[in-house]
Structure 1
Amino acid sequence: MKQWLLKSEPDEFGWHHLTAKGAAGEEWTGVRNYQARNNMRAMKVGDLGFFYHSNIGKEIVGIVEVCRESAPDSTADDPRWDCVRVRAVRPFKRAVTLEQCKVEPGLEAMVLVKNSRLSVQPVTTEEWRILCRMGGVEP
């Protein structure tokens, strides 16, 4: 199982929007970057990811689970674009900000720190452990 980080603007689709979808979850639509799309194509059902509020807050607020593997994005007219379906698993007890990530030992090489613009990115097992601890949840 791999771990990921998925970014969304909270005023467009935030953590509360995903939790309202329940067990069915929601398609992670609108990704129009090849690297991010390829990351979604690598996701498997059961993989976990961090839900990151971009632009407003710039913070990790919860954990999601992939509940459907990559398929055509229903919001795209172009067949090159795919999306996964994710559902909320649990919120963080404490949101973890980008600024905290930048100064936390062990996160120096994290994609979020090095390339904060990539909307869907891998997270290493060690980064996952550190961020769960910072967020007050079990890995």
Structure 2
Amino acid sequence: MTLPERPARYWLMKSEPDECSIDDALAAPGATVPWTGVRNYQARNFMRDEMRIGDGVLFYHSGCPEPGIAGIARVASGVRADPAQFDPASHYYDPKATPDKPRWLLLDVQAIRKTRLVRLAELRAHPALAEMRVLQRGNRLSITPVQEQEWAAILRDCLGGKAAGQSN
């Protein structure tokens, strides 16, 4: 018995552009990059338990002078162990992680297109986005869910179009 497909979900994924920018992702083979370095359990659990191939991604530049949405992407793989956790030379090394019991996961993200930069102030100016997780006080998660109506409002009102797979 096969289970019915679930509707696509949407995510905002933060990356520091000096580690991996939307331009880096677009230049990668197949425009696909491994999303490494997630070291927050809630963000890891989103990847492990909720994210699926084909889900939409707002590619967000953070930790830079002008943070904001810089592109549209999609989840391109299931999860697997993040190898950086096993590398003592890596900034993301975790001495408690072992290959038979990894603590940290990654998945691949495929860039679809670069967009103009949609800054936080612009997101905050839209009433339809008032409840968006990235705009909530104290939110520092690197991966947050985006509601379908938020995704549609960003594409329509901020980016003036549709992303691949978007039917609204």
TM-score relative to the length of structure 1: 0.93
More strand by share: 1
**Offset of 1:24 from its aligned partner?**
5.7
Q: For 1:44-83, what per-residue CA distance to the aligned partner results, in whole angstroms no more than 9, with x for missing partners?
A: 1111100000021211011111111111112112211001
Gaps of 5+ in 1: none
Structure 1 segments of 4+ aligned residues over 4 angstroms from their partners: none
Aligned residue identity for 1:84: L
Deviates more, 1:81-90 or 1:18-27: 18-27
Alpha-carbon separation, structure 1, partners of 2:148 and 2:17? 26
Q: Does 1:64 align with 2:73?
A: yes
Which residue does 1:111 correspond to in 2?
A: 133
Q: CA RMSD in A?
A: 1.3
Which residue does 1:3 correspond to in 2?
A: 10
Q: What are the equivalent positions in structure 2 for 1:1-139 lying under 5 Å apart?
A: 1-23=8-30, 25-41=32-48, 42-56=50-64, 57-77=66-86, 78=97, 79-92=102-115, 94-114=116-136, 115-133=138-156, 134-139=158-163
Aligned residue identity for 2:39: R
**Offset of 1:95 from its aligned partner?**
1.8
Alpha-carbon separation, structure 1, partners of 2:125 and 2:148? 18
Aligned residue identity for 1:36: A
Alpha-carbon separation, structure 2, partners of 1:59 and 1:9? 11
Alpha-carbon separation, structure 2, partners of 1:104 and 1:110? 10
Larger radius of gyration: 2
Aligned-pair identity (%): 41
Q: Is the 8 A contact 2:13 2:144 kept in 1?
A: yes
Alpha-carbon separation, structure 2, partners of 1:61 and 1:5? 11
More helix by share: 1
Aligned residue identity for 2:63: N
TM-score relative to the length of structure 2: 0.78
Gaps of 5+ in 2: 1-7, 87-96, 164-168
Alpha-carbon separation, structure 1, partners of 2:123 and 2:57? 16
